[in-house]
Amino acid sequence: MSHPAPSRPVGVVVDGYSIGKFLPAAFRRLGADVVHLQSTPEFLASVPPPDLGPYIANVVHGTGDWDRTAKELAAYAPVGVLPGQETGVPPADAVAERLGLPGNPAATSAVRRDKYRMIESLRAAGLRCARQLKSADAAEIVDWAERDAGYPVVVKPLSSASTDGVSICRSAEEIRTAAAAVLGTYDIFERRNAEVLAQSFLRGPEYIVDVVRGPGGGRHVCGVWRYEKTETGTKRIYDKDILLDPDSPEVPVLVDYVDRVLDALDIRFGAAHAEVVLTPEGPALVEVGARLNGDMVPAVHDTCMDGNQADLLALACVRPEEFQRRYAGHTMYRRHREALVVHGQTTREGIVEEIDEDVLARIAALRTVRLAVPRLRPGDRMRPTTDLLSSPLRVFLVGDRPEDLLADHRRIQGLQDGVFRLAEPAGARR
């Protein structure tokens, strides 16, 4: 298939299902167009399809032949190939390598997607990390926990996301239950879970470190956030993310560790979203995605910091010399205002009949709220929150005083269940 030579720079986004939706606008702000690469013959049924409206074309990889797909994309003379979600990481590596564009080695793509191989790569590099075992046998995991790791242990899928299927197990019975809930099922990217991953529990506060690396070695830290979670049974449920002052004492410790993690995993170019626990012995990786932070909203991040990952990533592709000039010294974000991301939680279950716009408007009208996003629509099933996938509401707060954000956080907790009206169970109707 032939295409007219582009008159503007072109970026390629692979599988722009979720966080990738912010990349087309970032490229357009730099005078560039974007092509979408669909890495599967059909869209994934497990997640909402990407909006193809902002793209000038959708190229479908349906043959298994990456040389052929790369040749089709070459007609657009792209300046970069970027993943729009986790499934886009290996295809982006494969295509960028074939087109001679900045990227990460296709030969090591698996260590950036498979969580077992990811941690083993850190161990081989001499970096602090969890002890771990992968197995299809719950009895083997129990034996490992009791002989080696000790309780609690974390049981999770090998390559999912959003804390899908993650359990903290404090007994043999909890391990068996958690393993049974994962084995033989499919993760959110429609991959069958033939094995589960068990890891030693990392004790300490957990943080986000977001980074963009450019083609000339420049690196910018786009934000460091601290997670706060609540515990319910075997689940640790996200409550809020708090943006740290870059001068906080833990920030340079975390950033230095993440720089070495990215080197060990061959993340030489692009965005990275790392989750790290600061244990008493020092930082240890939970996992890292070679992609944008899933909670990154450019308009919100721009109000509390000096930029956002999407715009910086587009800059690294479209104007690599400018990126290198600005970020050659391994630079750090500046925090202009306090910021908080609230992850709604619920114990309710049922079919969403209606969004109560009045309640949603009351949340949006709170002084520090910048954006309130319901994650369920009428007809969707609400279930008790156990992970990010089952969080029904996300709210972004920005302000000048942390006490104002925390006060609005408490108000949101009191209002959030009212956002969703659930249909009465059939048996309750008269």
Which position has the token pair 């994934």?
44
Residue ranges, comma separated, of all CATH 3.40.50.20 domains in the chain are 10-109
Q: What is the pLDDT of residues 375-409, one digit of tens each?
A: 999 999 999 998 888 999 999 999 999 999 999 99
Strands 235-243 and 369-374: unpaired
The CATH number for 131-200, chosen from 3.30.1490.20, 3.30.930.10, 2.60.40.1220, 3.30.750.24, is 3.30.1490.20
Model confidence pLDDT, tens digit, residues 354-363: 999 999 999 9
| pLDDT score recorded for residue 186 | 79
- Listed in order, the ranges of the chain carrying CATH 3.30.470.20 are 206-230+244-334
Bridge partners (DSSP) listed for residue 421: 354
Q: How would residue 169 be classed by pLDDT, with cut points 50, 70 and 90?
A: very high
Kindly write down the DSSP assignment for every residue of 20-35, as one continuous string: GGGHHHHHHTTT-EEE
Give me the pLDDT at residue 387, please. 86
Please report the pLDDT score of residue 6 as a whole number.
Answer: 64
Q: Please, where in the chain does CATH 3.90.1170.30 lie?
A: 340-428
Q: Tell me what pLDDT residue 160 has.
A: 61
* 169 contacts 145 by C-beta, under 8 angstroms: yes
Q: What is the pTM of this model?
A: 0.93
Across the beta sheet with 33-38, the strand order is: 57-60, 33-38, 10-14, 78-83
Q: What pLDDT, on the 0 to 100 scale, is given for residue 161?
A: 58
The residue whose two tokens read 């070459």 is 74
- Tens-digit pLDDT profile for residues 225-284: 999 998 887 888 899 999 999 999 999 999 999 999 999 999 999 999 999 999 999 999
Q: Which residue bears the tokens 């833990």?
A: 250
Instruction: For domain 10-109, give the CATH number.
Output: 3.40.50.20
- Residue type at position 111: V
CATH of the domain spanning 340-428: 3.90.1170.30
According to the model, what pLDDT value does residue 430 have?
Answer: 47
Report CA-CA distances (Å) from 181 to 174, 176, 195, 196. 11, 9, 11, 10
Least confident of 23-37, 163-177, 195-209: 163-177
Q: Which of 45-49, 294-298, 344-348, 403-407 has the lowest mean pLDDT?
A: 45-49
DSSP state of 149: I
pLDDT band of residue 1 (cuts 50, 70, 90) is very low
**pLDDT given at position 328:** 85
What value does the mean pLDDT of the chain take?
Answer: 93
Q: Which whole number is the average pLDDT over 412-430?
A: 83
Question: Hey, what CATH topology would domain 206-230+244-334 get?
Answer: D-amino Acid Aminotransferase; Chain A, domain 1 (3.30.470)
Tokens standing for residue 353:
């009949």
Averaged pLDDT, 67-83: 97
Please say if the pLDDT value at position 164 is more than 70: no
